[in-house]
Structure 1
């Protein structure tokens, strides 16, 4: 397995991947999208939206990151917003389905072993009572209260880091504001 020397938590999770094919750039870029104090617990690869990318289960949220040459895609699912998780496995790969805040996200072509392990760990995380935490260690609002300010702040950080384009920024900002 390839050595990344990114961060100890990311390196340890990357070493457990069956293959890093198609996700090396994302592993290198992962620290740019993590919040202060957020650590990576598990990684998997999969297909979501426009292409193959990296699924990271962190101490605070589930993240999908695709960092291509021509485009970048980041979508996160804070644990407090996830209502349920489904896993559908095939012979070699499977699909992780995440239901969060009225949305359904399907991450396809995940390697069967790492995808199922991530789905099981995610279910266990969701079953354990814990207070949600946002960027910079700030406590998230009570359940049911929209955390628009934190989502907009994260979006601003992603744009400033060059992780998303101006067009993606405007699109996601509009979706956040429309959710009010």
Structure 2
């Protein structure tokens, strides 16, 4: 989407997203719709509820923003309310479907490369946020968990990225040493 000199996080996300086809106004006005402490991770273009606009994935929510001459649309999905996300890609474009608080929102005509990237990143964020607490953070009473279930939990934490490889190795060694 290019360099806009709006804000470092927005500029970086826009640069990764490529040409700004019809979303220059939205990118320039994006800081006015962001919350305090909110940073932009990824940007894409798309249409929602009949209007073409900007899709922004931030550290707090997924935003669809259209700032037209005659009307403005702002739809946001706080990350804590999103239950799942689906990407349906076609040759060049696709649809990003967001399920949040019992509702379904289809953001259509998202360029394939950007839609795949946003949906993958959003899935990772959701999986990490909903991952169980690390085993070492909440000590279980002696004998409360068998070794196999403790190792399985540890494997899940590593798979969703909640712990580093080094933490995984340390905790695995501690579990095995407790046998």
Q: TM-score, normalised by structure 1?
A: 0.70
Q: Distance in 2 between matches of 1:92 and 1:119?
A: 16
Indicate the structure whose relative CO is greater, using CA pairs within 8 Å and at least 6 residues apart. Answer: 1
**How far apart are the structure 2 equivalents of 1:91 and 1:16?**
20
Alignment check: 8 A CA contact 2:47 2:109 kept: yes
Structure 2 length-normalised TM: 0.71
Aligned to 2:33: 33
Instruction: Return the offset for 1:3.
Output: 2.1
In the TM superposition, 1:98-109 aligns within 5 A as 98-109=98-109
C-alpha contact (below 8 Å) 2:56/2:64 kept by paired residues: yes
Unpaired stretches in structure 1, ≥5 consecutive residues: 131-180
Note if 1:95 corresponds to 2:111. Answer: no
Are positions 1:119 and 2:119 aligned together? yes
User: How far apart, CA to CA, are the structure 1 residues paired with 2:48 and 2:82?
Assistant: 17
Per-residue deviation at 1:2? 3.4
Deviation at 1:51, TM superposition (A): 1.0
2:38 is paired with a residue of what secondary structure?
Answer: coil
* Paired residues of 2:2 and 2:19 also in contact (CA < 8 A): no
Match of 2:72 in 1: 72
Whole-angstrom CA distance in 1 between matches of 2:28 and 2:19: 15
Question: Paired residue for 1:12?
Answer: 12
Aligned residue number for residue 51 of structure 2: 51
Please provide the CA RMSD for this pair: 1.4
Q: Distance in 2 between matches of 1:30 and 1:111?
A: 20
Which structure has the larger Rg?
A: 2
The number of residue pairs the alignment matches comes to: 131
